[in-house]
Structure 1
Amino acid sequence: MQQAASSVSQSSSPYFDEAHSADVVNARMGQNADARLRQVMEILVRHLHAAVKEIEPTHEEWFAAIRFLTETGQMCTDWRQEYILLSDILGVSMLVDSINHRRPSGATPNTILGPFYVANAPEYENGANICLDGKGESLVVAGRVTNIEGTPIPNAKLEVWQTNNDGFYDVQQKGIQPDSNLRGVFNSDAEGRYWFKSVKPRHYPIPSDGPVGKLLGAIGRHPNRAAHLHFIVTAPGYDPVITHIFTPDCPYLPEDAVFGVKRELIAEFNQIDDSDAARELGFAAPFWSVNWDFTLASSANPTPAIA
């Protein structure tokens, strides 16, 4: 009996052993498991067991990891998703987004959505001012929406949102900021043009009062996001673009807490010291100006391979 058991390869044994732990766990999956779920779970188990073997955690360290995950879940609410924040600061959100949005050369690249998008923001005519609290340095944003060939896309929908000059989104300060402050929806005109008034964005910290913030502090990282405006640009027949534009003078561009900065998304912000131009816009001089064009890829375009 003992001899028969020893003739069975350890890797095919149903009994746990350290050397073949991942194989033993993966072998327990039923034959009727969904094929994609099976593939995902086999890879996760394999890499998780490899990491544990490399780290060799103590029992105390493993329980600390479990407490961290428990506290992360307990921090989640209807408007705050701490697990998304964890995915963000580990660079996983950006990696998943990059894998799912491989576009032709010249198309505006995606970046992460972020946790503070709100659907059904107010719709405005071009030229409206989305800053409702009067704080910050005045900014005018203008540009065009075109396809890869440069043809204007009329009636493209542009959703925009940003923090106020104190570094908070409106939903973080209910009763303090006006509802829908620094949020708006615009549509490109017949020539694909859009424009609106706002304030120059500033850097701000991601929520750091929970377990993810404590983790950042423990590994010597700051919680700051580089200054940016959020956009979602959509038009029938084209891939939607979820992206940011970043100010070029922000000190956190090379170390954005969620790895959201792409070189192609750093815009040119110009300070305009022209009293007449400011008066026409309803601003005081000086004010800031940024021109930014969005280039959409046709949804019929095949996804290019990544070398």
Structure 2
Amino acid sequence: MTATPPAVSDQQREVEDQLVRKVLASFDGTPDARLKEVMQTLVRHLHDFIREVRLTEAEWQYAIDFLTAAGHITTDRRQEFVLLSDVLGTSMQTINVNQQATGDATEATVLGPFFVDGSPEIPLGGDMAFGAPGEPCWVEGTVFDTDGDPVPGARLEVWEADEDGLYDVQYEDDRLTGRAHLYTDDRGRYSFWGLTPTPYPIPHDGPVGHLLGKTGRSPMRASHLHFKATSPGLRTLVTHIFVEGDDLLESDAVFGVKHSLVKRFERQATDTPVPGGRDLAGRSWSRVRFDIVLPKDPAAEKGGSRAIRA
């Protein structure tokens, strides 16, 4: 049962209302209209939250300590604030608001904390695993626009965890594995070798993991492979594909699963002809097809996008 909040007298309510009005007025002179809108709306919701739950001073100090700890553990290889945003569903809700459904366009999902700029380029049919442990997986598809036309020269960034559930940046030896970029051919087609995705926990040895533990939530993510697709004039897509039949599809720690992104990763018999003639030395492997559909970019059509300027 939810505890009944203590009664608040009219006198006390006026004290609290007066403070809200004063804080809101402090932003009245903000030159950037969008920044003013965001800050005043944030103030309203934050004060409403404090008043609704009657937040104690000890609880607020705990929150300050939590955010401080998140800052201390964050490095150029680990972003605890992204993890916090993800496990609260804030990342996915922001994506839902900004990447609204457009015809049959491919749905977006979270970037996650392990994307790294400057991945190596591989040719079509190349191997993005770079020696990371795991079962080989052949990934192929075509990039289209929403008119059904193929998109040649689209850039695809791909990255994933190895079979031990770790991304390269989580190791201490500066390895570069499990990530690459490539370009579609003149018919919009792409293909590469990766690894059959496996489930893994988000980093849970820090404040976000402590929060999950205290609330009885699992840190596990459903098995997935990351994609980022870009092409001039088309909306940038950040998404994953997930493994059909994964037990974690309904309980993904960051709420990133969308039904349209669940794909069948088909295991292949060892005597099945291997794409490109790759020698797998009798190892098992899988294959999956993922066609990507990109809508036109409204920001490009308008010559810019709405943003808060610092």
For Structure 1 versus Structure 2, the TM-score category normalised by the shorter chain is 0.7 to 0.9
The Cα offsets for residues 40-62 of structure 1, whole Å up to 9 and x where unpaired, read as 22211111111111111332222
3-state SS in 2 of match to 1:254: coil
| Cα distance in structure 2, aligned partners of 1:233 and 1:281 | 26
Contact preservation (8 Å) 1:88, 1:94: yes
3-state SS in 1 of match to 2:39: helix
- For structure 1, which runs of at least 5 residues remain unmatched after alignment? 1-9
Q: Is residue 204 from structure 1 mapped to residue 210 from structure 2 by the alignment?
A: no
1:256 equivalent in structure 2: 252
Offset, 1:32: 4.5
What letter corresponds to residue 133 of structure 2 in structure 1? K
Offset, 1:37: 2.1
3-state SS in 2 of match to 1:165: coil
Pick from 100, 103, 120: which aligns with 2:98? 100
3-state SS in 1 of match to 2:287: strand
Offset, 1:194: 0.9
Query: Normalized against structure 1, the TM-score is what?
Result: 0.87
Aligned pair count reads 289
CA-based RMSD? 2.4
Contact preservation (8 Å) 2:27, 2:40: no
3-state SS in 1 of match to 2:15: coil
Contact preservation (8 Å) 2:27, 2:39: no
Moved more, 282-291 or 224-233: 282-291
Kindly tell me: are residues 201 and 54 of structure 1, through their superposed partners in 2, closer, same or farther at Cα, counting changes over 3 Å?
same
Correspondence list, 1:153-168, <5 A: 153-168=151-166
| Cα distance in structure 2, aligned partners of 1:105 and 1:231 | 20
Percent identity, aligned pairs only, is 41
What letter corresponds to residue 248 of structure 1 in structure 2? E
2:4 equivalent in structure 1: none
| Cα distance in structure 2, aligned partners of 1:216 and 1:108 | 30
Pick from 203, 206, 213: which aligns with 2:209? 213
Kindly tell me: are residues 28 and 190 of structure 1, through their superposed partners in 2, closer, same or farther at Cα, counting changes over 3 Å?
closer
Contact preservation (8 Å) 1:275, 1:286: no
Correspondence list, 1:55-70, <5 A: 55-70=53-68
Offset, 1:232: 0.8
3-state SS in 2 of match to 1:39: helix
What letter corresponds to residue 213 of structure 1 in structure 2? G
Q: Is residue 194 from structure 1 mapped to residue 212 from structure 2 by the alignment?
A: no
Kindly tell me: are residues 122 and 217 of structure 1, through their superposed partners in 2, closer, same or farther at Cα, counting changes over 3 Å?
same
Kindly tell me: are residues 32 and 226 of structure 1, through their superposed partners in 2, closer, same or farther at Cα, counting changes over 3 Å?
closer
Correspondence list, 1:145-184, <5 A: 145-175=143-173, 179-184=175-180
Pick from 233, 237, 243: which aligns with 1:241? 237
Contact preservation (8 Å) 2:28, 2:36: no
Correspondence list, 1:217-228, <5 A: 217-228=213-224
The Cα offsets for residues 170-221 of structure 1, whole Å up to 9 and x where unpaired, read as 111132xx73211111111122111111210111111111111101111111
